[in-house]
């Protein structure tokens, strides 16, 4: 057994590393998931073979109870709720680490380095638990998605966290002072709640990645407490990958961690946006079908509105219909589109959209000026030209998909309400922009239907199609929508 356990742990660690490597590409993501699952299975088997396990009865009970909860969640959770499910998974994992740390403290009262690791484990575990619950509530809209702030909030939060750290250090110095541990737990739990309340829905993708990092670091610290090398490795991989992803997401929004955690982004400009009313061009699905049929190149920009409407399969039908007509269709993916990292990639993969048609922001932006149509489906802040043209905008400097440079822009949206950032989108009021108001799935269904009834676009003598890209002449009406 002494030789089998290290071998199992080494294989498990290799599975985790390969999973991270392969999941970095859509083409190998499925292989990465299998590698991660295999690694976790080996880790569980190895752990159950350790000498510390003296009774399997409670383990089996927990196994069946966990399976009874986990399997239905996996099968019944819709793709639109994957961000919420991810947040609640972080909460459960962090709570498990924190409770194990609590049990180890009262069982053994460790000293020195081990006690320091235990304090870190429980601090991160408890605050990640409540913070993830708050993130879940905002994503599920059980809580207001807007930032909830009050005067002096940042001072209160930092003071609370500082007090928890001071008590944690005191516990490391004097572990036998057990009366301090419940206070330490309470402060950690409370800080997790107050950490997320002032963060708006626009920042949830970064917050989820950051909470993933916290949960991983908590698990890694737990490995030191339990003297489990595999936990140290797995937690470090989880923590570092979550941190790196958070950094990538922050750069994608041109924001710092400090601004995300303490900036209350998305609140100050919401009321101002609601007070404005500007004319916009609107179109019908029939007109949209004619424009798309006459295009040579179309770039689709999916956003959270596509996820809410579950419109990815209808979008695939539109892709197929246009491709059969010789239209070059590409998909532009912004790093923070949706409510979690890779949200749009997951939905489009579910609809079997070819991987080679998905392009990241840096790859696709140079192609927008040559595109006949930019079709935006439920995206808002990530295509707002104010990020580049208005230095006073809250999103000034944020990298965006430059859809406004396309010859014609079509936007499928339920209403003119602002996005998560709480600000108006100048793109909607440009002369080249057509608004198609309605549920994304219903609008796409109508476009696909009308596209089947539209004759092929007539080509001119040069072999080019006659393009209907002049919106001001193509549509003769305007619609004034209050934001």
- Over residues 18-29, the mean pLDDT reads 84
- pLDDT score of 267 more than 60: no
What stretches of 190-290 adopt beta strand conformation (E)?
Answer: 277-281
pLDDT in tens, 36-76: 999 999 998 888 887 677 778 888 898 899 899 888 888 88
The pLDDT tens digits of the residues spanning 86-141 come to: 888 889 999 999 999 999 999 988 999 999 999 999 999 999 999 999 988 888 87
Please state the φ and ψ torsions of residue 130, each to the nearest 5 degrees.
-70, -35
What pLDDT score does 247 carry?
80
pLDDT at 339: 72
Q: Which residues are catalytic?
A: 381
Global confidence as pTM: 0.76
The answer on pLDDT for 468 being more than 50 is no
How high is the pLDDT of residue 191? 93
Report the sign of the C-alpha dihedral through residues 204, 207, 209, 214, in that order.
negative
- Average the pLDDT over 414-426 and give the result: 74
Of 80 and 369, the structure prediction assigns the larger pLDDT to: 369
Q: Which two tokens stand for residue 215?
A: 């949960």
Report the pLDDT value the prediction gives residue 49, as an integer from 0 to 100: 82
Mean pLDDT lowest for which of 17-21, 125-129, 394-398, 409-413? 394-398
User: What strand order describes the sheet that includes 373-377?
Assistant: 358-360, 328-333, 297-302, 373-377, 408-413, 433-437
Q: What is the pLDDT of residue 454?
A: 59
Span(s) in the chain for CATH 3.40.50.1220: 275-482
Residue scoring higher pLDDT (392 or 375): 375
Q: State yes or no: pLDDT of 298 exceeds 70.
A: yes
Quickly state the pLDDT bin for 474 (edges 50, 70, 90): very low
- Cα gap 212→245, rounded to integer Å: 10
Provide, rounded to the nearest whole percent, the portion of the chain with pLDDT above 90. Answer: 40
**Residue 170 confidence (pLDDT) above 80:** yes
Is 50 exceeded by the pLDDT of residue 406? yes
Confidence of residue 479 (pLDDT cuts 50, 70, 90): very low
pLDDT at position 84: 84
- Rounded to a whole number, what is the distance in angstroms from the first to the last CA of the chain? 67
Residue range 349-353: mean pLDDT, rounded? 86
Higher-confidence residue: 109 or 418? 109
Residue with tokens 């993501």: 29
At residue 412, does pLDDT exceed 80? yes
Q: Would the pLDDT of 143 be above 70?
A: yes
Average pLDDT, the chain: 83
Read off the pLDDT of residues 321-341 as tens digits, 9 standing for 90 and up: 999 989 999 999 988 787 777
Q: Is the pLDDT of residue 81 over 80?
A: no
Place 2 in a pLDDT band, splitting at 50, 70 and 90: low
Give the CATH architecture of domain 275-482: 3-Layer(aba) Sandwich (3.40)
pLDDT at position 465: 52
Which one, of 403, 448, 445, 447, lies nearest residue 428 by Cα?
Answer: 403
| Alpha-carbon torsion angle 451, 453, 454, 456, nearest 10 | 100
Residues in CB range of 193: below 8 A, 6 or more apart:
130, 131, 133, 134
Q: Which three-class secondary structure state does DSSP give residue 423?
A: coil
Strands (E), 214-350: 277-281, 297-302, 328-333
The H or E element containing residue 238 is helix 229-252
Q: Residue 477's pLDDT is what? A: 45
Backbone angles phi, psi at 198, to 5 degrees: -85, 5
pLDDT for the residue numbered 32: 92
Angle of helix 229-252 relative to helix 29-48, nearest 10 degrees, comes to 150
Which distant-in-sequence residues (6+ apart) come within 8 Å of 65 by Cβ? none
Q: How confident is the model at residue 198 (pLDDT cuts 50, 70, 90)?
A: confident
> For residue 14, how many other CB atoms are within 10 A of its CB?
15
- Look up tokens 């949830």; give the residue: 204
The predicted-structure confidence for 424-458, as pLDDT tens digits, reads as follows 788 898 889 999 999 999 999 999 998 876 565 55
Cα 174 to its chain centre, rounded Å, is 41
């Amino acid at each position: 057994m002494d030789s089998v356990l290290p071998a199992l742990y080494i294989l498990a660690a290799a599975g985790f590393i390969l999973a991270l490597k392969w999941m970095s590409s859509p083409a190998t993501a499925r292989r990465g998931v299998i590698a991660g699952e295999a690694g976790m299975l080996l880790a569980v088997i190895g752990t159950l073979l350790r000498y510390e396990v003296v009774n399997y009865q409670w383990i089996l009970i927990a196994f069946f109870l966990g399976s009874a909860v986990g399997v239905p969640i996996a099968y019944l959770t819709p793709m639109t709720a994957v961000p919420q499910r991810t947040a609640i998974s972080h909460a459960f994992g962090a709570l498990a680490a924190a409770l194990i740390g609590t049990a180890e403290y009262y069982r053994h009262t460790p000293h020195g380095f081990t006690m320091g690791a235990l304090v870190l484990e429980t601090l991160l575990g408890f605050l990640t638990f409540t913070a993830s619950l708050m993130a879940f509530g905002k994503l599920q809209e059980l809580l207001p998605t807007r930032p909830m702030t009050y005067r002096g909030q940042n001072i209160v939060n930092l003071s609370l966290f500082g007090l928890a750290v001071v008590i944690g250090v005191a516990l490391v110095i004097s572990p036998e002072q057990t009366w301090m541990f419940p206070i330490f737990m309470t402060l950690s739990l409370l800080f997790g709640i107050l950490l997320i309340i002032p963060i708006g829905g626009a920042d949830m993708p970064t917050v989820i990645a950051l909470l993933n990092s916290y949960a991983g670091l908590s698990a890694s610290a737990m490995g030191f407490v339990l003297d489990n090398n595999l936990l140290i490795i797995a937690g470090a991989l989880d923590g570092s990958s979550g941190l790196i992803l958070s950094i990538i997401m922050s750069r994608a929004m041109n924001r710092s961690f400090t601004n995300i955690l303490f900036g209350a982004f998305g609140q100050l400009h919401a009321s101002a946006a609601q007070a404005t009313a500007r004319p916009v061009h609107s179109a019908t699905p029939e007109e949209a079908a004619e424009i798309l049929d006459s295009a040579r190149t179309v770039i689709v920009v999916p956003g959270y509105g596509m996820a809410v409407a579950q419109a990815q399969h209808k979008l695939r039908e539109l892709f197929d219909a246009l491709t059969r007509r010789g239209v070059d269709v590409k998909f532009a993916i912004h790093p923070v589109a949706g409510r979690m990292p890779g949200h749009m990639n997951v939905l489009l993969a579910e609809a079997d959209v070819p991987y080679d048609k998905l392009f990241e922001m840096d790859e696709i932006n140079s192609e927008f000026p040559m595109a006949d149509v930019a079709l935006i489906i439920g995206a808002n802040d990530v295509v707002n030209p104010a990020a580049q043209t208005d230095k006073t905008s809250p999103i000034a400097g944020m990298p965006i998909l430059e859809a406004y440079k396309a010859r014609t822009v079509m936007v499928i949206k339920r209403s003119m309400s602002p996005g998560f950032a709480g600000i108006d989108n100048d793109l909607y009021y440009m002369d080249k922009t057509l608004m198609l108001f309605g549920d994304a799935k219903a609008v796409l269904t109508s476009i696909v239907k009308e596209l089947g009834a539209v004759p092929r676009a007539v080509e001119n003598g040069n072999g080019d199609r006659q393009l209907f890209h002049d919106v001001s002449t193509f549509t003769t009406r305007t619609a004034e929508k209050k934001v």
